[in-house]
Structure 1
Amino acid sequence: MRVPILIVGTLTLLAACGTTPENRYYTLSVEPAATSAAPPPRTGRITIAKLLLPGVTDREQMVVATGPQTVDIREFDRWAEPLDQLVPRILAQDLALRAGGPTSNLPERRLFVSVDRFSVDAMGSSQLTGRWWMLEPGETAAQRRERPFALSRPAGARDGVQVAAAMSALLSMLADDVARE
């Protein structure tokens, strides 16, 4: 009689330990321009031709840097869509907010962005670093003028909502930088 009770108790305990937390899903959001100054002159449409993300960031889980060579991959805090699709889409929408009106009949410029770091660290600071360049109609890659960027912002608490908000703000800051050019 004691053996079946012991087995049932053990199985119940194992079943309780086997439950996993539910995934939480996050997305990035479009942010207004940092300044409320007059919109820049309309010089053409900007199309994001290519945006490269570092492999450590380009994953479905949120990543928090815990040290110079260490990261925490948050298994249950996940992006609602792949970052290699989400980041260019949000950046394009941020840029459209800064375009200064309809640009459909103006020449198209191609934006290239190479991101070296796009993360939040364990201390609550978010960083977006890399370089971008724009090619005007008729220009080739050999004519590119790279512009480095190093953007940072406090991330507040490091839960998923604050991480997504800080990363959204960094993309907005990058859009401000590109629009100024």
Structure 2
Amino acid sequence: MNARAKFRLGLLMVTGGLLVSSCSLVPQAQPDPTRFFVLSAMTSSPPPVPAGKAPVVHLRQVELAGYIKAKPIIVRRGDHEIEFREFARWGEPLELGIGRVLREDLVGRGAAGAVLAGGVRATEVDPDFTLVVRVLACEGGANGAVLFRAVWELATTGGAPKVVARGDVQPGDLRWDGKNEAALVAQLSKAVGALTDDVAGGIARSGK
């Protein structure tokens, strides 16, 4: 092999080595660590009485405090500090998730024969009540507390609506480990279940 051939061979080897090295320096694509969560209804069994005998409720769109409209799940670290868990997000707008669980649970428990979605009025069904729900807190505490608060009002329908029941729900016995967002969402689902219990009691007291 003459000198020119040796030079070309050496140049090819060096170039190939550089290409291999540059490929190894390119970072590998990493899987997206984001997880998505939804609230779950606590009632899965059918109502014990025919649903048609229970009142029809028109649930207006659930109202949220401004800071909990964010997509990430929230952990409160103090009176004035919150943390957004960027890799743990709600799989649906929180107001829609709470409304969905309320509808499923109220009908599933037989407290309501039907629950009309917020902004929707079925022409063939006249609701007996209008339900307004405002959620003021829906998060976990860094200390392991589960922080949920919702106020609600139940009113008759028609030309002269009258408030027949109201409540302020703040479950104080729910806990999580401060780390596992799935466990937090499960506890928040229980909190919405407590809200359903309170609303169901108000419907029962109304006498319809």
Distance 1:150 1:108, change over 3 A: same
Distance 1:139 1:125, change over 3 A: farther
After TM superposition, give the deviation of residue 102 of structure 1 in Å.
Answer: 4.4
Aligned counterpart in structure 1 of residue 150 of structure 2, from 116, 130, 139: 130
How do 1:56-67 residues align onto structure 2 when only pairs under 5 Å count? Answer: 56-67=67-78
Distance 1:86 1:169, change over 3 A: same
Q: Which residue of 2 aligns with 1:121?
A: 141
Distance 1:120 1:139, change over 3 A: farther
- Rounded to whole Å, the distance in 2 between the matches of 1:132 and 1:100 is 16
After TM superposition, give the deviation of residue 21 of structure 1 in Å.
Answer: 4.7
Distance 1:151 1:21, change over 3 A: same
Unaligned runs of 5+ in 2: 1-13, 116-124, 203-208
- Secondary structure at the residue paired with 2:61? strand
Give per-residue Cα distances to partners, 1:5-33, cap 9 Å, x unaligned: 9x959955xx37x9575211111101039
Which amino acid counterpart does residue 169 of structure 1 have in structure 2?
K
Greater Rg by CA: 2
Which amino acid counterpart does residue 130 of structure 1 have in structure 2?
A
Give per-residue Cα distances to partners, 1:26-84, cap 9 Å, x unaligned: 11101039xxxx88x95512221131111221121111111111111011101111112
- Rounded to whole Å, the distance in 1 between the matches of 2:68 and 2:114 is 32
Unaligned runs of 5+ in 1: none
Which amino acid counterpart does residue 167 of structure 1 have in structure 2?
L
Q: How many residues in Structure 1 have an aligned counterpart in Structure 2?
A: 169
- Rounded to whole Å, the distance in 2 between the matches of 1:176 and 1:118 is 17
Distance 1:65 1:90, change over 3 A: same
Which amino acid counterpart does residue 56 of structure 1 have in structure 2?
Y
Name whichever of 43-52 and 83-92 sits farther off.
43-52
- Rounded to whole Å, the distance in 1 between the matches of 2:173 and 2:85 is 21
Which amino acid counterpart does residue 136 of structure 1 have in structure 2?
T
Identify, as 1 or 2, the structure richer in strand: 1
Contact 1:132 1:146 in 2 (8 A): yes
Contact 1:63 1:71 in 2 (8 A): yes
Q: Which structure carries more relative contact order (alpha carbon 8 Å, separation 6+)? A: 1
- Secondary structure at the residue paired with 2:170? strand
After TM superposition, give the deviation of residue 156 of structure 1 in Å.
Answer: 2.4
Contact 1:65 1:122 in 2 (8 A): yes
Q: Which residue of 2 aligns with 1:79?
A: 90
Aligned counterpart in structure 1 of residue 106 of structure 2, from 92, 95, 109: 95
Q: Which residue of 2 aligns with 1:174?
A: 195
Task: Give TM-score scaled by structure 2 length.
Answer: 0.68
State the Cα RMSD in Å: 3.2
2:46 is the alignment partner of 1:25:
no
Alignment identity in percent?
21
